[in-house]
Amino acid sequence: MDAFFASVEQASKPSLRGKAVVVGGLGPRGVVATASYEARVFGVHSAMPMAQARRRAPNAAYLVPRFALYRSISEQVMGLLRALSPLVEPLSLDEAFVDLEAGGAAWDERSARLAGAKLRADIRAATGLTGSVGLAASKMLAKIASEQAKPDGLVLIEPGTERALLGPLPVRTLPGVGPATGDHLRRAGIHTVDELAEAGEDELVRLLGKAHGQALFAMALARDERPVVAERETKSVSVEDTYDVDIHDRVRVGTEVRRLADRCVRRLREAGLSGRTIVLKVRRYDFSTLTRSETLRGPTDDPAVVREAAARLLDSVDTTGGVRLLGVGVSGLADYTQEDLFAQAAGVPADESPHEEAEAAPAPEPETPAERRWPAGHDVRHAVYGHGWVQGSGLGRVTARFETPGSEPGRVKTFRVDDPALQPAEPLPLVSRRPGEDEGAGAGGGTRTESR
């Protein structure tokens, strides 16, 4: 998918179509998750510190991610891929490998092009968004082709042309060559894939070690025998937060760990999973990162159990000097809980287990309007103006623009943060565009969007 998070935001917000949009953490330590192609013109890219992005593109719209919406659209796209083949290997919410031959969708160059073209059209019809397709005889080459196809294109690497295509490309093009490996190769005078192949396997093993050296030499010769592996099993579920200011108060650290434990359990339950091993992650003021884990007697999805285990793990960590990141995870996953087993042994259905009922955490108190957070880009509904989204908030005020995916660019209004007429809302479905309709249609009448 092309600039996925940013493209979703543009599709759902008419005033942002054709404008620079940056999605990510908006705090002082936030980083860019995705930048629209309009923002990339200014040099903004993913993983860039948000402060640097703001300096490069001060007039862009800066939005907090809406992951629930992104996941729902991703599921639509993955469904289209699975209709093509039983062998679909998701890499992230917006990217996947598909073995077209396994599903009978393609067997030669012509049928592959037709399958790729139909897929792009189906994605556009289902979501209103664009995707880019790379077609090749191996995963490595298909990935490279998809990057060359962006945005909104299709590239097929014909068999027999692989070496000629790869040769002049920089070594960073190959998977597994990150900044550190790239710098190491550059110091050895190796800049392109051709130079990597010319160096020979023995030299690469000497420079990078046996496994890495042999793998890179094979890729430089366009050899990649890795199969497409259908949906990998989830090994863990975790959540973490990076804080704008280091936390020094030990009580606050404990409160944050409990909150993260509850969020982690919610994710577990949404996935219908439980786990035996609780993991705590702490990144301290000096960037040193500590992890601690505890394995329970059986799998659980009980928030009280996970909170208590995480608190015990925190007791063994020195947080003197401050904490910049905290995380809680659960691994050793299963699709049942220890409580289910107890219930079954007693002849009680799992959903009526008295043990589970007694241990259930109390429901959180509903937040008052004054306690609400108003993340930039998130959805709201007003009793008079209808559906909209937050442009920014601060100093006791929240500014919202009222528009929907299918409307014209909407009006902007400012309210007190505790105005009872303004409520957080769920995202609206994206409106699919008609075939041939210009993606930027309807964007011309909007005023400039600023996010504070």
Residues forming the active site: 95
382 strand-pairing partners: 386, 422
Q: Which amino acid does the sequence have at 393?
A: S
What is the three-class DSSP state of 112? helix
The structure tokens listed for 390 are 């937050």
CA separation (Å) from 201 to 197, 209, 424?
Answer: 8, 10, 58
Within 271-329, residue ranges assigned H as helices are: 303-315
Determine how many CB atoms are found less than 10 A away from the CB of residue 364: 7
Compute the distance between CA of residue 155 and CA of residue 136 in angstroms, rounded to an integer. Answer: 9
Compute the distance between CA of residue 292 and CA of residue 278 in angstroms, rounded to an integer. Answer: 8
Q: Is 357 exposed, middle or buried (0-12, 13-18, 19+ CB in 10 A)?
A: exposed
Contact 89, 228 (CB under 8 A): yes
What is the three-class DSSP state of 343? helix
Select from 200, 194, 190, 202 the least CA-distant residue to 222.
194
Select from 438, 450, 451 the least CA-distant residue to 17.
438
- DSSP code of residue 296: E
Within 296-405, residue ranges assigned H as helices are: 303-315, 338-345, 354-359
Cα-atom radius of gyration of the chain, to the nearest Å? Answer: 25
Compute the distance between CA of residue 328 and CA of residue 280 in angstroms, rounded to an integer. Answer: 5
Element (H, E) at 279: strand 274-284
| Helical pair 67-84 and 4-12, crossing angle rounded to 10 deg | 110
CA separation (Å) from 429 to 68, 114, 136, 280?
Answer: 12, 29, 34, 36
